[in-house]
Amino acid sequence: MIVAIDTMGGDNAPFSQIEAGISAIDKLGVEVIFLGDEKTIKSKLKDMQLDSDKISIIHCSENITNDEKPVTAMKRKKNSPFVVGANLVKEKKADAFISSGSTGALLTAGTLIVGRIKGILRPALIVAYPTVKKPMILLDLGANANVKPEYLNQFAFMGSSYSKAIFDTQNPSVGLVNIGTEETKGSTLYQETHKLLKENKKINFYGNVEGRDIPSGVVDVLVCDGFTGNIVLKLTEGVAIGLMKLIKQSLMSSLKSKIGAMLAKDGLKKVKSKFDYEEYGGAMLIGIDGIVVKAHGSSNAKAFYYAINQAKKTYDAKVVDSIKEMAKEFADVKQEVE
């Protein structure tokens, strides 16, 4: 497997990305192509006492930042890692492209350059969401702010395929985010989606999942529109951070609790690691004809390594092929819905 790595995007670029890539060569047995400033990459490899002639590098002279409009930036910046990486995947010169740079640029490059699988109405961003029990597959995280029931129905299938690949889930249960368990609950969009999911024989539909039950991990796959998914993911992170901050403040408020906190430190750390995004990899753009992964913008080497690991698992399990197979049936429905 060949993995193209963007070394220009993210808070800790390029070093974390390079370190993660080197670990992946070593531990996962993949080949890597580093995309970015050749001189910087070579100098970092030299620091790591590695022979840079043996590692593929494609020089990129420019980058696309979060502030730029993805579509126009992509047209102008042909030599950015996004355009180069997506083209490598499209031309099958790489099996995956991974970046911790601009989400918008990655989505655009994935959708427009790598391209949608025929029959798939909209690609979606998918993530392993940490729950009390086990990680749960959540999609869409923001690739589609405006959706139709038919998109969500496909998300359900794609999520199932991905859950099987990543977590070896047998017959994964699929839930629909909603504001009540009854099928008449929610907006028109969610009521109609509920109907479609119920009728969909290709998935194991559990029913609606309310906000309160999301963190308990009652299902294997959780489906919603990109607006809701983005709020769910980020709010979870926000609440966890806020709560941990309050706990810390509170424990530091008296000598007694300070001593208590010291003794309980390891236990509290264990909890933090459960909600730690580092080990869960990144968000994958699913529904396109290739593997494109968005690692967290603040990824360190460990987090970026897990994003590569996730691409590897997706590759090994042939997730793209199984979605292609499913999408064939949708190919004729496509016209009327779009």
| Cβ-based nearer residue to a copy of itself, 43 or 66 | 66
Q: Min. distance of Cβ 44 from a copy of itself in angstroms?
A: 31
Which residue type occupies 270? K
| Cβ-based nearer residue to a copy of itself, 38 or 237 | 237
| Cβ-based nearer residue to a copy of itself, 230 or 314 | 230
| Cβ-based nearer residue to a copy of itself, 264 or 331 | 264
User: Among 146, 125, 111, 115, which Cα is nearest to 338's?
Assistant: 146
Q: Min. distance of Cβ 160 from a copy of itself in angstroms?
A: 22
Element containing residue 251 per DSSP (H, E): helix 226-251
C-alpha count within 13 angstroms, C-beta hemisphere, residue 100: 30
Please give the Cα distance from 135 to 138 (Å, whole number): 9
Q: Min. distance of Cβ 107 from a copy of itself in angstroms?
A: 12
**What are the tokens at 53?**
């002639």
| Residue that the structure tokens 């690949």 belong to | 165
Q: Min. distance of Cβ 59 from a copy of itself in angstroms?
A: 31
Radius of gyration of the chain (CA): 21
Q: Min. distance of Cβ 259 from a copy of itself in angstroms?
A: 6
| Cβ-based nearer residue to a copy of itself, 96 or 233 | 233
Q: Is 254 helix (H, G, I), strand (E, B) or coil?
A: coil
Element containing residue 62 per DSSP (H, E): none
| Cβ-based nearer residue to a copy of itself, 115 or 217 | 217
Binding site for a copy of itself (CB under 8 A): 131-132, 142, 145-146, 177, 179, 185-188, 190, 210-216, 225-228, 230-247, 250-251, 253-254, 256-257, 259-268, 270-271, 274-275
Q: Min. distance of Cβ 239 from a copy of itself in angstroms?
A: 4
Check if the beta carbon of residue 196 is closer than 8 Å to that of residue 150: yes
